[in-house]
Amino acid sequence: MKKIVIGIDISKKKLDWCVMVDKEIAGFHDTANRMDDNYNKFAEVLEYGKIDIGEVLVCAEYTGKYIYPLVLACHKCRVDLWLESGYNIKCEARKERGKDDRTDARRIAEYGRKNQDDARIYRLPAESIATLRGLLSERAMYCSQRAAHKGQLRDMRGFMSPEAYTARAVRQLSLIKELDRLIEEVDNSMAEIVASDPELLRQQRLLLSVPGIGMVCAAALIAVTARFSLFDNGRELCCFAGLAPFAYTSGTSIRSKRRVSCRADHQLKALLHMCALVAATCMKSGRFAEYYQRKTAEGKNKMSVLNAVRAKLMLTAFAVVRDNTPYDKNFKINLAES
């Protein structure tokens, strides 16, 4: 158990600190959300109490790109950093009323102190992985904007005069063409990053051997898993991507069907959905297509079967990287020897 837990509420421009020593609040602080300011504050806190760095745990809510300065400061100071889901912190703080930045920092500190046995210390990812994640986020933004413009073109055709529609279509098509160019540029940048790293290139080649998985999904799997180092097995990865169904029962009255949770990496889940569609419906043969055809013929819900295909793709992807063996469509398990 760490003696000192520092809860930090992260916003765009500033950080609110709550320092707890054992069970007592030692003080509140605030700094600008810049790496130098965070580093100086760590130095001030540690020197003031003459504290061993090993006795300090920093707990903060994961807030996307705004965590970057804090991550760099913790890495430079060699302080353990635990980035927790805001949902988990909020669930534990529901009994309290009111909300402000200082209160949030205190709640985060209390959460970190009570649950530090479950702490997952954040490790700064390799530069190639961090760059890949940024490019994937940028690509998703461009794809979303392109889909919005295409949807506008389809929806407005029958509700405008031909002249007005043509003028609007010319403008939006130019935007769509520019977004296509930007998406291609991002794809080329991701390909260059993967090609420059032998380990990333090895994993990409293994993933591309799995039916349905393309370049973008392979890059996403590598980036999200940090070269398949963040998950111990494929089932954990399926749960993270929102593919694993869970039971919802209580007593004798609630008997809901097993269903997937909405707590998932939705970007990765969407990419896997497209891969599953390709593997199950676009390919005429193969294990995934045969499984999809057999289950739908039995009367199973198509979306449930597609979700099963997604999970099978994920488990297969994890297995080929783990075993360093390309996908073999003729592979069969010999139950007599196992």
For 26-48, the pLDDT digits (tens) are 888 888 888 887 778 777 776 65
Q: For the purposes of burial, counting CB atoms within 10 Å of the CB of 115, is it exposed (0-12), middle (13-18) or buried (19 or more)?
A: middle
Torsion of CA 318, 319, 321, 325, to 10 degrees: -160
Give yes or no for a contact between 187 and 215, defined as CB atoms under 8 angstroms apart: yes
**Contacts of 43 by beta carbon, 8 Å cutoff, 6+ apart:** 77
On whether the CB atoms of residues 288 and 312 are closer than 8 A, the answer is yes
| Residue 236 in this model has a pLDDT that exceeds 60 | yes
Residue 338: what pLDDT?
Answer: 35
Among 174-178, 248-252, 327-331, the range with the most confident prediction by mean pLDDT is 174-178
Place of tokens 């909020």: 90
> What is the percent of the chain with per-residue pLDDT over 90, rounded to a whole number?
40
Structure tokens at 126: 């390799």
- Indicate whether 332 pLDDT > 70: no
CA 218 to chain centre: 14
**Percent of the chain, pLDDT > 70?**
93
pLDDT in tens, 123-160: 888 899 999 999 999 999 999 999 999 998 888 887 88
Q: What are phi and psi of 25, to 5 degrees?
A: -80, 120
Does the pLDDT at position 174 exceed 90? yes
Q: Is the pLDDT of residue 243 over 80?
A: yes
Whether the per-residue pLDDT at 182 is higher than 80: the answer is yes
Rounded to an integer, the average pLDDT of 169-177 is 94
Q: Give first-to-last CA distance, the chain, whole Å.
A: 43
pTM, two decimal places = 0.83
Q: What are phi and psi of 310, to 5 degrees?
A: -60, -45
Q: What is the pLDDT of residue 21?
A: 87
Asked if 45 contacts 28 with a C-beta cutoff of 8 angstroms, the reply is no
Confidence grade of residue 337 (pLDDT, cut at 50, 70, 90): very low
Q: Report which of 92, 39, 20, 96 is spatially closest to residue 61, judged by C-alpha positions.
A: 92
DSSP state of 281: I
Q: Which single residue is written with the structure tokens 């005429």? A: 284
| Whether the predicted pLDDT of 25 surpasses 60 | yes
Q: How confident is the model at residue 223 (pLDDT cuts 50, 70, 90)?
A: very high
Phi-psi region of 98 (alpha: psi -120 to 50; beta: other; left: phi over 0): left
